Amino acid sequence: MNTTRSGRPALTRPDGTALRVLVVDDDPDLSEVLTGALRYEGWQVRAAADGAAALAAARELRPDAVVLDVMLPDMDGFTVLRRLHETQPEVCVLFLTARDAVEDRIAGLTAGGDDYVTKPFSLEEVVARLRGLLRRAGMARRPEPEEDPGLVVGDLVMDEDAREVTRAGELIELSPTEFELLRFLMRNPRRVLSKAQILDRVWSYDFGGRAHVVELYISYLRKKIDAGREPMIHTVRGAGYVLKPVTG
Amino acid sequence: MNTTRSGRPALTRPDGTALRVLVVDDDPDLSEVLTGALRYEGWQVRAAADGAAALAAARELRPDAVVLDVMLPDMDGFTVLRRLHETQPEVCVLFLTARDAVEDRIAGLTAGGDDYVTKPFSLEEVVARLRGLLRRAGMARRPEPEEDPGLVVGDLVMDEDAREVTRAGELIELSPTEFELLRFLMRNPRRVLSKAQILDRVWSYDFGGRAHVVELYISYLRKKIDAGREPMIHTVRGAGYVLKPVTG
DNA sequence: GCCCCTTCTCAGAGGTGCCTCAGAGCTGGG
DNA sequence: CCCAGCTCTGAGGCACCTCTGAGAAGGGGC
């Protein structure tokens, strides 16, 4: 079975091979980070730095999805999208855009089921949105062909579409950051995650703050998830945190 | 089963295969948006930029419906329609036209069961009309052969043809925009919809306004639908809005 | 047992998102 | 021509969310 670098089972194409993703951004640092994060998901990733290179790479790679910066040195992201769709109408696109930029134009052109995130974003958000896109487009299937249960760890259940979390059937209200943090934990159960790792994945890449916020948000999550119950979030002193089912 | 990108079951042809739609418009941006939105419905879509290309594509695709701009660079939309009907009399046509244009001529020519929308339109409206056309023409069937319940979420019921909405049997009067917004919510129950998504789908593609109007209309809807009752419309701070039946 | 370092918790400042109200512009009907 | 309904803008205000700082609590090494 195709697996991620982290050992989790990967989201794959219907035929079981790795999903193919093309990353298009002219900032080499950002491109590097994105490429790494997506490879970590077990996907086959390729990068391009401008529109022309993107179209060329797309012809060769025939990607399932494209992560596409709106501002490219040679051409508009929308032009890239249109040209892409001419030859590969099935491809999904996730736009990257500055917050106060041409957000309305983006809005208009993503109506077809594509999506966008505004910079600065967290890697967890990009990955989540990309997974959502691919899942809805029917391009991806879960490794187990049976019913997709969503994210489940013990009696803790997360419905990403409804943005709902329940423990033992009881609804738990979470703030956006709490939700992202829990999603990251639930996608890596029984695995110790360092504060640095959490900071990298859940907080925006330009976040300058210190690891103290992670401790703080872990404590928030504990209050909401572990309050009066057998704890699922455990501290591993000097290493990080781990989420485990109660009888694990 | 054939499903939409959003995960909803798709409206299909009687034999269960995907409905085939041809989009004919010379504005590449608009064509792109329409194509995406219809694909999102789970349909097989193809685009053409002028009348000649449309006729050629129609011969090949043999579409169930055509979305047809009245003003094309090479020939009149009506001419396209006439030629289309020569070879494919069964095809449905949804005209796209400017508001103050030849509206009466359209009206005359759509008496045969075709329909039209005036620019600028919302995608929700185009999709709804196309679905209506196909359903009435007997070219589509609901995925479940049993009774078509229409749009129902909890005790909230929408009759799209009569443009009537009831909650707990009580009739609720809605303005056009309120109706469109509620329809979009009801077609995506238990799913958090961002303000940008809502803006894309419910407002016209050329609407430049801010997402603030969405908040405003949500508040209107709440007053009419949730007033004095268990609320069904919920705000998910930082994410969007979600419509849920009262008991879960 | 003592000390040091890590982690946890609390309280509060500042920012932001969202809701609501009031009103202007527009349109269509009487 | 006036009135009614609809749509959108702008401003005000509240509530929540996020992060900072400081002190308390706890674990491990010596």
Question: pLDDT tens digit string along A37-86?
Answer: 999 999 999 999 999 999 999 999 999 999 999 889 999 888 898 899 88
Assign B67 to helix, strand or coil. Answer: strand
Best of B32, B43, B121 to substitute, by most chain A Cβ atoms within 10 angstroms, is: B32
Q: Tell whether the model's pLDDT for residue A227 goes beyond 60.
A: yes
pTM for the predicted model, two decimal places = 0.93
**Nearest-neighbour CA in chain B from A237: distance (Å):** 33
| Intra-chain end-to-end CA distance of chain A, in Å | 24
Residues of A in contact with B237 (CB under 8 A): 175-176
Q: How confident is the model at residue A27 (pLDDT cuts 50, 70, 90)?
A: very high
Q: Tell whether the model's pLDDT for residue B13 goes beyond 80.
A: yes
User: Among A89, A104, A162, whose Cβ lies nearest the Cβ of B190?
Assistant: A162
CB atoms within 10 A of CB B144: 10
Rg (CA), chain B: 19
**Straight-line distance from CA B100 to C1' C20, in Å?**
36
A206 touches strand D (CB under 7 A): no
**Cβ–Cβ below 8 Å for B36 and A163:** no
Structure tokens at B104: 């009466």
**Nearest-neighbour CA in chain A from B189: distance (Å):** 9
Question: pLDDT tens digit string along A141-182?
Answer: 555 545 566 899 999 999 999 999 999 999 999 999 999 999
Q: Among all residues of chain B, which has the CA nearest to that of A109?
A: B33
Give the closest residue to A25 by CA, choosing from A133, A159, A155, A121: A121
**What is the set of domains in chain A, with CATH numbers?**
20-136 (3.40.50.2300), 151-243 (1.10.10.10)
Burial of A190 (0-12, 13-18, 19+ CB in 10 A): exposed
Q: What local confidence, expressed as pLDDT, does residue A112 receive? A: 72
